[in-house]
Amino acid sequence: MDFRRIKKVALLAFASLLTIPAAAQDLLANQAPIDRKMKAVDSIQLQKLIQSEEMESPAASLYEDWNNQYAHRPTALPDSFRIDLRGFSMPTPSRVITSNFGARWGRQHKGLDIKVYIGDTIRAAFSGKVRIVRYEPKGYGKYVVIRHANGLETIYGHMSKHLVAENQEVRAGEAIGLGGNTGRSTGSHLHFETRLCGVALNPALMFDFRNQDVVGDSYLFRKSSYNRESAEATRLRGVGGKAVNGDLDLAYMQQSQDQQVASNKRQQRQQQTAARYHKVKKGDTLYGIARKHGTSVNAICRLNHITTKVRLLPGQILKY
């Protein structure tokens, strides 16, 4: 009897051990859909975070800074860069190009001129963030600069009215201004520029205004073949079918960068040598003032035309 009882207990124990893996497998099977759902949620949140960061600082990997001081400033171009053209909106429904990109009247025309009338709606070509909203009487007139996540900056010139503000996020197709004839302009039109790293690229490489479309899902910019491709784009999609110089103008870009470096150095020297002022307080001495501002007593005396024996009075202003 005892032996039979022991055998029964052993069999029950063995059966229970056999059920453990099955239960564990069931648990894993039940958990799998939950894990997949959580992964999907995480992916959605990640995409939202990426989109938010892109809108906060579009194309941050290409541009060193974000400021509202200059329309464009050429920086180092990558040897090649793929520009995503999906999600575009034509800036105007007009199909009439009045002036090509490239050489014009002895100077370089950095964009396309599209015929619009005063009051026509001008729209953002891609989603992005407005960097400049300004009036330039001898140039762009009333214009807007937008930086996009695909690396481009687009410029819209000669408008009659701004409809956006600096640092505003805009979506492709959103109204940003009205057509006009402001600035250096001989008739109402939209001056439209596409720039990469501050360098003007021929919009005809990407936009086909006559067919109101982009040329493809993307455009692969390559330094080595840009000029030839730009000339061909103007022949196919420009005015009169005339191929003109593609005008990447690397020499000009280098000159502009050198000039910017020289300007920065000049500003640094001016800041270092510019006179500053100290208001004398009770108990101040020339030695104490010089030590406080990292200069010498002789330098202070020379700037202020005084001697080391001068009596300092509270409220007196000294250059240093």
Residue 251 pLDDT exceeds 50 = no
Kindly state which CATH superfamily the domain 277-319 is placed in. Answer: LysM domain (3.10.350.10)
Instruction: Enumerate residues 6+ apart whose C-beta is below 8 A from 288.
Output: none
User: What's the pLDDT at 316?
Assistant: 87
pLDDT at 271 over 60: no
Task: Tell me the C-alpha distance between 194 and 110, whole Å.
Answer: 9
- Residue 186, by phi and psi: left (phi above 0), alpha (psi -120 to 50) or beta? alpha
Do the domains spanning 80-257 and 277-319 agree at the CATH topology level?
Answer: no
Is pLDDT above 60 for 17? no
pLDDT at residue 97 in the model: 95
Tell me what pLDDT residue 263 has.
Answer: 60
Give me the pLDDT at residue 94, please. 96
Judge: domain 80-257, CATH 3.40.190.10: no
Q: Kindly report the average pLDDT of the chain as a whole number.
A: 82
Contacts of 93 (CB under 8 A, 6+ apart): 212
DSSP H or E stretch at residue 45 = helix 2-56
- 207-211 long-range contacts, CB within 8 A, separation 24+: 207/90, 207/112, 207/125, 207/237, 208/237, 209/90, 209/92, 209/94, 209/95, 209/96, 209/97, 209/112, 209/114, 209/237, 210/95, 210/97, 210/237, 211/95
pLDDT at residue 196 above 90? yes
Is 135 in a helix, a strand, or coil?
strand
- Partners of 104 in beta bridges: 107
Above pLDDT 90, what percent of the chain? Answer: 48
Q: Where do the structural domains in the chain lie, given as residue ranges?
A: 22-55, 80-257, 277-319
Predicted local distance difference test score (pLDDT) of residue 306: 87
Of the listed ranges 48-57, 105-114, 238-247, the one predicted with least confidence: 48-57
The CA dihedral of 136, 137, 138, 142, to the nearest 10 degrees, is 50
For 162-174, give the DSSP string.
E---TT-EE-TT-
Q: Sorting pLDDT into bands at 50, 70 and 90, what band is 252?
A: very low
Check: CB of residue 167 under 8 Å from CB of residue 68: yes
Using the CB atoms, write b or e for 24-56: b if 16+ within 10 Å: eeeeeeeeeeeeeeeeeeeeeeeeeeeeeebee
* Angle (CA) 228 231 234, round 5°: 150
d(CA 305, CA 128) in angstroms, rounded, equals: 56
The CA distance from 147 to 167, in Å, is: 10
* Burial group, residue 243, by CB count within 10 angstroms (0-12, 13-18, 19+): middle
Please tell me the pTM assigned to this model.
0.63
Mean pLDDT for the stretch of residues 133-157: 96
